[in-house]
Amino acid sequence: MQTGIENFVEAETDLRGLVFDIQKFSLHDGPGIRTTVFIKGCPLVCKWCSNPESQSLKQQIMTHDIRCIGCGKCAEACGTGAIAFTEAGREIDWEKCNECLECAKVCPARGIETVGKFMTVDEVVAKVEQDRIFYENSGGGMTVSGGEPLVQWEFVSRVLERCREKGIHTALDTCGMAPWRDLERVIEHTDLVLFDVKHMDSAIHKEGTGVGNETILENARKVAERTTTWVRIPLIPGFNDSESNLTRVAQFAGEIGAEKISLLPYHNYGSSKYPKLGRTYPMEGTPRLADEKVEALKRWLETMGYRVEIGR
C-alpha cells in the first residue's frame, strides 16, 4: 500500500515538461549570470518572434540543409510522402508533413532534427545546479522563459520551487497571457517576474500578436502587487515604438510599481529559422532600430523619472 508521500514522489517523477533549449551563461534574462530554461508552447503568435520553434506545444522537425548528405533515409522513413530528393536536393512538402518525427530519428547527419525534449523536474534542476558558483558570484540564478512558460505552468512551478529550495534565485519571463490561477501558482516560487508589455492598445496588440491585451494587463497588475517586477518592451519598428505608446507603457509601469523598464530592440536573428520549419518570416525586410534612436528613447523615458535599461 502506498503512502501519501510515496504518491507524491511518484507524481514528481512522472512530471515532465517540453523544453526546447537550456541556455547557460545568459546575461539578458534577469540580474547576474543565469541559466535560462526555454519552455515550448505559446498562446501568442508575435510577428517578430525570434524563436518560432517555441510556439507549438508539441515536438517538431527543423531542417538543416547544409548538413544533408543526400542519403535518402528520411524519405524512406516518411509515411506521408512529404520528403523527396531532386537535383536541387532534399525537398519537403510541409502540407503533407504530420510531424511524426521519423525522419529526424533516422537522419545520420542531423540534417533534420527534433525540436523539443521532454525532461523531468530533476533533469532540469540538475542542469541549472551545474552553474551554481556563477550565480553566487554574480547575483544571478535561473530564468524560465519560452515560448510562454505558463502553458506548462505545473511543470514550471515545480522547477522554480525546487530551485528556490536549493537557494537559487528564480525569475519568470512571461507574456502574461494565462489564467490568473495558473500564474498565481507559479509566482509563489518566483523572486522576479520579467513581464512583457507589447502594446497598450488592445486592437493593435491583437494585430501584432494574435490576442488582445486585457488579460495581460490585469495579470501584470496582480503580479506587481506580489513580487518584484520588471516591465519589458520589445521595441518593434512601426508597431510599438511611438512616443505615445511608450508613454502609456511607462505610465502603466509606474502605476503598478514596476522596479524598472527594459527596452528590448528588435532584431531579425531568428528569421533564418522560419524556412527550417516550413514557414515564412512575417517581418522580412524590416530594418532594426538605430542604436541612436534606442538610446534617445531610453533618455527620454528617464527624463520622466523611470529607471530604464536596454537589452535586459
pLDDT in tens, 145-160: 999 999 999 999 999 9
249-265 mean pLDDT: 96
**Residues written for the chain:** 312
Higher-confidence residue of 51 and 2: namely: 51
* End-to-end C-alpha distance for the chain, whole angstroms: 51
* Residue boundaries of the structural domains of the chain: 4-57+117-310, 60-115
Letter string b/e over residues 262-289, b meaning 16 or more CB atoms within 10 A of that residue's CB: bbbbbeeeebebbebbbeebebeebeeb
Distance CA 267, CA 45 (A): 16
User: Residue 1: what pLDDT?
Assistant: 41
For residue 7, what pLDDT band results from cuts at 50, 70 and 90? very low
User: Residue 312: what pLDDT?
Assistant: 78
Q: Is the distance from CB of 175 to CB of 216 less than 8 angstroms?
A: yes
pLDDT at 97 over 90: yes
Tell me the CATH number of domain 60-115, given options 3.30.1490.20, 3.30.70.20, 3.40.50.720, 3.30.450.40. 3.30.70.20
For residue 88, what pLDDT band results from cuts at 50, 70 and 90? confident
Q: What percent of the chain is modeled with pLDDT above 90?
A: 94
* Range 4-57+117-310: architecture per CATH: Alpha-Beta Barrel (3.20)
Peptide bond into 238 cis (omega under 30): no
pLDDT at 272 over 80: yes
* Average pLDDT for the chain: 94
pLDDT at 5 over 70: no
User: Residue 8: what pLDDT?
Assistant: 36
251-260 mean pLDDT: 96
204-226 mean pLDDT: 98
Distance CA 175, CA 207 (A): 16
User: Residue 3: what pLDDT?
Assistant: 43
pLDDT at 310 over 60: yes
